[in-house]
Every structure is written in structure tokens, then in C-alpha cells.
């Protein structure tokens, strides 16, 4: 849940201004997990700043910081600096300039994503206390276990197409799992971007982690995932109000 920049204590905003050289703030238009998420521009640099104050927010941002430092590859924005002040954890990331990826059928951004997925599938999970598949998804299957770093949230809002290539942001849900888990979690995003299920599967079949996967494992994943989201959406349904007449 986002908090307004104005709620940051002066000690924090001063420290940020000192680091970037003054500050022009532009809050992020997408995402809603981080308490503060904004582009901060100064005379010295332009960073993407995330900050947290609540217990949960600080734990989550601290985790994201650890993962981001460990990932620090060409697909992930570098961590420029971080500090703690007045109960806030503040992280300045390399700013990625560009639009969100377009994942619709035929989009050239799909090629960029395909390259990134192939590279990620070879990336060994860093030892930074990543989520297990069960902790991340709420269900498990032995085939989901693995040693790969899996982002698990590769929706367009977390994919930025820069002039230097695709950047993947928001590593707050990073998981240690088998590489196909990343691909399976991408299916709803592809369908949401206009692919038919068949088109999504055809596109994913370019990845070796997909073609070597036993179809019964994938069926099990799809069933569990669908059940999880059906349950979530039934719990979120606004229940009609019940009125009692007390005469
Ligand atoms: N390093 C970055 N550079 C530029 N924009 C970013 C960067 N990181 C995130 N963003 C933008 O800000 C939005 C929210 O950031 P994100 O890290 O995804 O926060 P949340 O955890 O709230 O989803 C992203 O959807 C993206 O558009
Ligand atoms: Mg996000």
C-alpha cells in the first residue's frame, strides 16, 4: 500500500536530497506493494527510490534489497545506495528509463523477454533466504523445487524496455525453484496481454525448461493455481448486506 512522499520525515528527505543533489519527486504510477516508490531526480543523479517504515514493509524491502544486490546483472537495476534513518529503510535503485514491456502477440518485446528468461533459467539462486515454492504460491509439487532464481511476478509493470535492453524490477517475491515455474507463472500475463492459451504455450515452447516439462506436472500446477485464485476471488467478493428488522 502506497504512502505519500510527504509522510517521510525531514531527516530522510534531507539525506535523499544530499545524495541525489536536490530532489524532484515523481511517484510511481504502477505497483502498490512498496510504501514509497518514486522517481527522484537531482543534479547528481536520478534514482528509483523505494522506502518502507512498517515492520512488514521494512522486512519485505530488506529482502528485495538483498536479492537485488545478489542479482545485479544486466537484467536488473543496480542498487545505488541504501540507508536507514528515523525508522525508515530507503533504497536508491538505478533508474530504468523506458515504457513497460508490451507482451501482446507479435510484440518485439517478447523477444527481449525470451532472451531474459533463457538467461534467468541458468542463473543459480543466490543464498539470500529466497521464498520456497510453497511459501510463495501456497501449494507444492516436488517438480517445483530447484536451484534457479525465479522472479515470479513478470507482469508488464515489472518489465521496462530501456535503450540498453529489458530490465526486470521488483524482486520482492524472488523464489528458489525449478526454471519452468517462472514460465508457468507467466501464462496468465501472456493471456492477459492477448495471447490465446495455445499461442502462449507455443511461445513458451521456445524455452527448453518448458519443452522438457512433464505435462502432468503442468496440469497439477495449473489446477492448484486456478483453485488458489478461485478461492481468493470468492473471499474478495463483496457480500450483500444482510439487514435485520428488530421490532
Ligand atoms: N528501477 C526502476 N526504474 C524506473 N522505474 C521503476 C524502477 N523500479 C520500479 N519502477 C516502476 O515503478 C513501479 C513500481 O515499482 P515496483 O518496484 O514494482 O513496486 P511495487 O513493489 O509497489 O510493485 C513499477 O511498475 C515500474 O513502473
Ligand atoms: Mg511491481
- pLDDT recorded at residue 241: 45
**178 and 116 in contact (C-beta within 8 Å)?**
no
Give residue 237's pLDDT: 67
Q: How far is the CA of 139 from the centre of ligand 1 (A)?
A: 27
Domains of the chain in sequence order? 5-94 (3.30.200.20), 109-227 (3.90.1200.10)
For ligand 2, the distance from its centroid to the CA atom of residue 39, given in whole angstroms, is 14
151-204: per-residue pLDDT in tens?
999 999 999 999 999 999 999 999 999 999 999 999 999 999 999 999 999 999
- Do the beta carbons of residue 12 and residue 51 sit within 8 Å? yes
- pLDDT of 235-245, one tens digit each? 876 554 443 33
Ligand 1: which of 1, 2, 31 to mutate, most ligand atoms within 8 Å of CB?
Answer: 31
Q: What average pLDDT values come out for the chain (247 residues) when binned by 10 residues?
A: 88 96 89 90 96 96 96 89 97 97 98 95 93 97 97 97 96 97 97 97 95 94 94 75 38
List, for residues 193-209, the tens digit of each pLDDT value: 999 999 999 999 999 99
pTM as predicted: 0.93
Q: How many angstroms does the Cα of residue 157 sit away from the middle of ligand 2?
A: 6
Nearest atom in ligand 1 to 34's CA: 22
Amino acid at each position: 500500500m502506497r504512502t505519500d512522499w510527504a509522510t517521510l520525515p525531514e531527516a530522510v528527505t534531507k539525506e535523499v536530497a544530499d545524495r541525489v543533489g536536490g530532489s524532484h519527486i515523481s511517484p510511481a504510477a504502477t505497483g502498490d506493494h512498496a510504501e514509497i516508490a518514486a522517481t527522484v531526480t537531482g543534479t547528481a543523479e536520478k534514482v528509483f527510490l523505494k522506502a518502507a517504515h512498517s515492520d512488514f514493509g521494512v522486512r519485505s524491502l530488506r529482502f528485495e534489497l538483498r536479492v537485488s544486490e545478489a542479482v545485479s546483472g544486466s537484467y536488473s537495476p543496480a542498487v545505488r545506495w541504501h540507508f536507514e534513518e528515523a525508522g525508515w529503510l530507503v533504497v536508491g535503485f538505478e533508474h530504468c528509463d523506458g515504457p513497460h514491456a508490451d507482451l501482446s502477440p507479435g510484440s518485439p518485446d517478447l523477444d527481449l523477454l525470451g532472451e531474459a528468461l533463457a538467461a534467468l533459467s541458468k542463473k543459480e539462486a543466490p543464498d539470500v533466504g529466497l521464498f520456497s515454492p510453497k511459501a510463495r504460491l501456497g501449494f507444492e509439487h516436488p517438480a517445483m523445487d530447484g536451484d534457479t532464481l525465479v522472479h515470479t511476478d513478470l507482469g508488464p509493470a515489472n518489465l521496462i524496455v530501456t535503450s540498453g535492453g529489458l530490465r526486470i524490477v521488483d524482486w520482492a517475491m524472488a523464489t528458489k525453484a525449478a526454471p519452468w515455474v517462472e514460465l508457468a507463472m507467466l501464462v496468465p500475463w501472456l493471456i492477459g496481454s492477448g495471447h490465446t492459451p495455445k499461442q502462449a504455450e507455443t511461445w513458451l515452447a521456445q524455452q527448453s525448461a518448458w519443452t522438457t516439462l512433464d505435462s502432468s506436472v503442468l496440469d497439477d500446477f495449473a489446477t492448484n493455481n486456478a483453485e488458489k485464485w478461485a478461492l481468493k476471488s470468492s473471499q474478495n467478493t463483496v457480500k450483500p448486506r444482510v439487514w435485520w428488522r428488530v421490532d
